[in-house]
Amino acid sequence: MKIDLQSEFNDYTKNLNKASKDQNINTAITRAVKAYRSTVAETLERFPHTPELAAEVREIKTHSMANNSELLAQAMASVERNKGKAFYAKDQQQALEIAAGIIGTGKTVVKGKSMLGEELHLREYLEGKGNEVWETDLGEFILQLKHDRPMHILSPAIHVPREQVAEIFSKFFNKEVPPDIAEEVGIVREFLREKYFSAHVGISGANVVAADTGAVVIIENEGNVRLASGAPPVHLVMVGVEKIVPTFQEAMKTAEVTWRYAQYGVPGYVNIVSGPSKTGDIEKVTTYGAHGPREFYVIFVDNGRSEMAGDEKFTQALHCLRCGGCMYECPVFQVTAGHFGHTYLSGIGAVWTAFVSGGLEKAAPLVYTCLRCGRCMERCPMQINVPAMIAELRNRIVNGAATGEEDLPQVARS
Ligand code: SF4
């Protein structure tokens, strides 16, 4: 099949060059890289067992992906046993339709940060169905108002300095908001607090799911996921099938490695949810719908992950914990932020883009932007061999795209 790359490259290159000259990006990323490196070094020193634990998690992930179908069936059965409802969505359309079927229309929805949500364009879809959807992660909230997209998987608004946040908030809240971070945080806290308690549905992603118990583990710092998943009467989890591991203990090990390489000794909150709220306080009769949600749904989303798992050169990319560590090491990311990405960012993002969010055409410019320097792999707790995957994707692009040398895009030859 011949792939038309030229138009993808033209827009992308223009955008990338512009980003590299953006002073906001430059300042924000320089600060973030410096802060990440010193904090992660200090954190790993304080918890020296972490690299050994990461090696164990690599084994867990390898085993989990090799047995993903069985674990998926087990996880779904566990969720149902806990009185939740489990769904499997093979692609984006199915995932969105199932979510819309649960949520309906005319509802207020509060949503936690989720890369899968970005991949599926979940908020936009639900808004299109007549719902009011609020991002509750502070960075995502800023981007929602700015009509922008995440520039980092953990710090989505990494490129927006406080002065710009003040401008955005002043316009939205229709009053003067000073460029003071504490005041900016305070005004959003006040605004969203009311939304949590009036929302019909709370949506979250998940960092890991334990198949044996159906326990969904969600790591966060702001406390927004705790509120979004606890206050509304319905909690909907949308999670990629690659996040399932066999046991609760293995889930906790995976979670610890994730937050440690995301530079946290311990995160503000670790939410573990396995079903709707319940009580047995009156006559020991289990009754569902106590203080937390009365309904609990989990949608396990494939959307290209099985194909990636079945391709031996790329299975390892599914071990990604989304700790974000590699991005701070990437020399291209350091000057362009998330502009080196589509939905998923930097080198690992190029691989994910090829399989789950845009295909080879969207991935091609990213694949040729990657320097294959291997610095991401050095940092990566899962030791994902991104440079080798990038080389393989280049092979596939060239074989798919080129009938002759003249068909190769300019950027590819330089
Ligand atoms: S590729 Fe590795 S370092 Fe990068 S986000 Fe995934 S697990 Fe973290």
Instruction: Tell me how far apart the alpha carbons of residues 226 and 229 are, in angstroms, rounded to a whole number.
Output: 5
Instruction: Tell me how far apart the alpha carbons of residues 177 and 191 are, in angstroms, rounded to a whole number.
Output: 14
Instruction: Tell me how far apart the alpha carbons of residues 205 and 200 are, in angstroms, rounded to a whole number.
Output: 17
Q: Whose CA is nearest to atom 2 of ligand 1?
A: 380
The CB density around residue 48, as the number of other CB atoms within 10 Å, is 8
pLDDT at 4: 63
Q: Whose CA is nearest to atom 3 of ligand 1?
A: 380
Establish whether residue 158 lines the binding site of ligand 1, counting it when its CB lies within 6 angstroms of any ligand atom: no
Instruction: Tell me how far apart the alpha carbons of residues 160 and 404 are, in angstroms, rounded to a whole number.
Output: 43
pLDDT at 400: 75
Look up residue 80 and give its two tokens: 């149902």
Relative to the CA of 325, which ligand 1 atom is closest? 3
**3-class DSSP string for 274-302:** CCCCEECCCCCCCEECCCCCCEEEEEEEC
CA 73 to ligand 1 centroid distance, Å: 27
Contact 317, 348 (CB under 8 A): yes
The CB density around residue 313, as the number of other CB atoms within 10 Å, is 16
Q: What single-letter DSSP state applies at residue 341?
A: B
Phi, psi of 400 (to 5 degrees): -85, -30
Establish whether residue 330 lines the binding site of ligand 1, counting it when its CB lies within 6 angstroms of any ligand atom: no
The DSSP-derived string for 354-409 is HHHSSHHHHHHHHHHH-----HHHHH-TT---HHHHHHHHHHHHHHHH-SSGGGS-
Helix (H, G, I), strand (E, B) or coil at 176: coil
Establish whether residue 159 lines the binding site of ligand 1, counting it when its CB lies within 6 angstroms of any ligand atom: no
Measured at the CA of 334, the angle between CA 12 and CA 26, to 5 degrees, comes to: 90
Phi, psi of 149 (to 5 degrees): -120, 160
The pTM assigned to this predicted structure is: 0.93
Out of 3.40.50.12280, 3.40.50.10420, 3.40.50.200, 3.40.50.720, the CATH code matching 50-137+190-305 is: 3.40.50.10420
Residue 52 host element (H or E): helix 50-66
Phi, psi of 214 (to 5 degrees): 75, 15
User: In the chain, where are the structural domains located?
Assistant: 6-46+324-413, 50-137+190-305
Pocket test for ligand 1, best of 243, 254, 320, 366 (most atoms within 8 A of CB): 320
- The Cβ-side half-sphere exposure at 257, using a 13 Å CA radius, reads 28
216-220, strands of its sheet edge to edge: 244-245, 208-210, 216-220, 269-273
Instruction: Tell me how far apart the alpha carbons of residues 280 and 84 are, in angstroms, rounded to a whole number.
Output: 17
Q: Which amino acid is at 211?
A: A
**pLDDT per residue as tens, the chain (414 positions):** 556 667 778 888 888 899 889 888 888 888 888 989 999 999 999 999 999 999 999 999 999 999 999 999 999 999 999 999 999 999 999 999 999 999 999 999 999 999 999 999 999 999 999 999 999 999 999 999 999 988 877 788 888 888 999 999 999 999 999 999 999 999 999 999 999 999 999 999 999 999 999 999 999 999 999 999 999 999 999 999 999 999 999 999 999 999 999 999 999 999 999 999 999 999 999 999 999 999 999 999 999 999 999 999 999 999 999 999 999 999 999 999 889 998 999 999 999 999 998 899 899 999 999 999 999 999 999 999 999 999 999 999 988 754 333 343 333 333
Contact 210, 250 (CB under 8 A): yes
Instruction: Tell me how far apart the alpha carbons of residues 173 and 193 are, in angstroms, rounded to a whole number.
Output: 15
Cα maximum dimension of the chain? 78
CA 350 to ligand 1 centroid distance, Å: 12
Instruction: Tell me how far apart the alpha carbons of residues 387 and 393 are, in angstroms, rounded to a whole number.
Output: 10
Sort 239 into a burial class: Cβ within 10 Å, 0-12 / 13-18 / 19+: buried
Establish whether residue 349 lines the binding site of ligand 1, counting it when its CB lies within 6 angstroms of any ligand atom: no
Tally of helices (H runs) and strands (E runs) in the chain: 20, 12
Work out whether the CA dihedral 168, 323, 223, 241 comes out positive or negative. positive
Helix (H, G, I), strand (E, B) or coil at 3: coil
The candidate with the shortest Cα–Cα distance to 224, out of 147, 294, 144, is 144
Contact 231, 140 (CB under 8 A): no
Establish whether residue 366 lines the binding site of ligand 1, counting it when its CB lies within 6 angstroms of any ligand atom: no
Instruction: Tell me how far apart the alpha carbons of residues 345 and 324 are, in angstroms, rounded to a whole number.
Output: 9
pLDDT at 402: 44
Relative to the CA of 386, which ligand 1 atom is closest? 1
Contact 208, 175 (CB under 8 A): no
Q: Whose CA is nearest to atom 8 of ligand 1?
A: 323
Relative to the CA of 261, which ligand 1 atom is closest? 8
pLDDT at 159: 81
